[in-house]
Amino acid sequence: MDSKTLRNEPSVLIITNMGPKPSAPFQGQFVTAQVNGLAAINPGYHFMRWHADSMLNRLLKYPVFLLDFIWRFILSRRTYSVVHVHFFYPTIWLALLYRLLRNPRAKIIVTCHGSDIYKYQPPGPWYRWCADKVQHWIFTSDALKSRFSLPCSPNSVLSAGIADSFAEQTPLELASKPIDLLYVGSLDFNKGIDRLIGLLPGLTNKKIVIAGTGPWLSKLQQAAAVFPNVSILGPQTASELAGLYRQARCFISTSRHESFGLVMAEAMACHTPVVATYTDGAAAQIQHGVNGYLVAQHSESDSQNEQRVVAGLLAALEQLWQLPASDYQQMQLEARAWAEQCLVSDVVSKLICLYRKV
């Protein structure tokens, strides 16, 4: 993009309340990937730079987040015409402050990621008031959009984006894959780590690799200690993850709630089919029997229902592993073809068109 074109591009400020922390070192990396992809238009970028798990941080991280924003962008000489907020509430307040103090004509775009909708139903008066100030809404899936109970026109559905490097992996044949089952992500209750633990006794003859960290790490380590076929890795870089995805016969998602689930898209970009519990994000990505398998779950979380979920996951895994090589290869190709639309280069080109439009 030449200098003349760049001068005609809208000046964009991207704000997110996500950021890496010791227990989640890659949190918010999909927003960073978008920012890096938008380098040609040189966007401003504000994320939660002071982020940890201590009680002090939990009490003060938002005041520090606000003060850091005032120092870096309210008091800056540069003016932005578009403010793109990732994670609507409460991050939207910074965009509204920018509009109030710096540029009353700034347009606000919001990308909703899941819990910024799930946790605010029914929406309160301040949530509603803020929503009325948004010029364009982006949802990471159609299902997430359907859960938003307020007027949201105009809007679009767009993946947060995965690194193009995942699409550079060459596929491995079924017989050449050394990992039977791969899990990547946060180790917490919502991600269904208790379900993953419940699967282990039924998979003693399978090579299982788990990559990530989180509050359920110690419970997982304790449960896996009696299973020598299970390897628990810490957080991995994008390059390391790509290698793991490529080597896995199957990727698993055991989440209770998921607005999109980029790790599923990353796995499919590396030609790896997915078995997942039915969530908004899984339903948006997986065609049952085509690029993976969906397993029903129930709103009630009693022990009997959880046992049915674990049994359903085991059955789906066995179905995938028993596919003839030619059928498995076709599923690989379908997974890879679907993931094309999630590559950050495609997402960024759509964002630039949207910035110009608003």
Tell me the pLDDT of the chain averaged across its residues: 93
* Segment 310-330, tens digit of pLDDT: 999 999 999 999 999 999 999
CA–CA gap between residue 249 and residue 328 (Å, rounded) = 9
Burial 231-244 (b: 16+ CB within 10 A, else e): ebeebbeeeebbeb
* Segment 14-25, tens digit of pLDDT: 999 998 887 777
pTM of the full structure: 0.85
* Cα first-last separation, the chain: 20
Q: Which of 262, 250, 254, 271 is nearest to 317 (CA)?
A: 250
pLDDT at 302 over 90: no
Fold assignment, 164-341: Rossmann fold (3.40.50)
Question: Tokens representing 275?
Answer: 């078995």
Confidence of residue 300 (pLDDT cuts 50, 70, 90): low
Query: Please, is 157 exposed, middle or buried when counting C-beta atoms within 10 Å of its C-beta (0-12, 13-18, 19+)?
Result: middle
Fold assignment, 3-161+343-357: Rossmann fold (3.40.50)
Residue % of the chain over a pLDDT of 90: 80
Q: Check residue 238 and give its pLDDT.
A: 87
Position 338: which residue type? W
Q: Fold identical between 3-161+343-357 and 164-341?
A: yes
* Segment 84-100, tens digit of pLDDT: 999 999 999 999 999 99
Confidence of residue 149 (pLDDT cuts 50, 70, 90): very high
Confidence of residue 241 (pLDDT cuts 50, 70, 90): very high
Torsion sign (Cα): 236, 163, 15, 91: negative
What are the extents of the domains in the chain? 3-161+343-357, 164-341
User: Which helix (H) or strand (E) is 109 found in, with range?
Assistant: strand 107-112
* Segment 186-222, tens digit of pLDDT: 999 999 999 999 999 999 999 999 999 989 999 999 9
Helix count (H) and strand count (E) of the chain? 15, 12
What is the chain's alpha carbon radius of gyration, rounded to the nearest angstrom? Answer: 21
Query: Using an 8 Å Cβ cutoff, are 181 and 320 in contact?
Result: no
Q: Check residue 250 and give its pLDDT.
A: 98
Cis peptide before 122 (omega within 30 of 0): yes
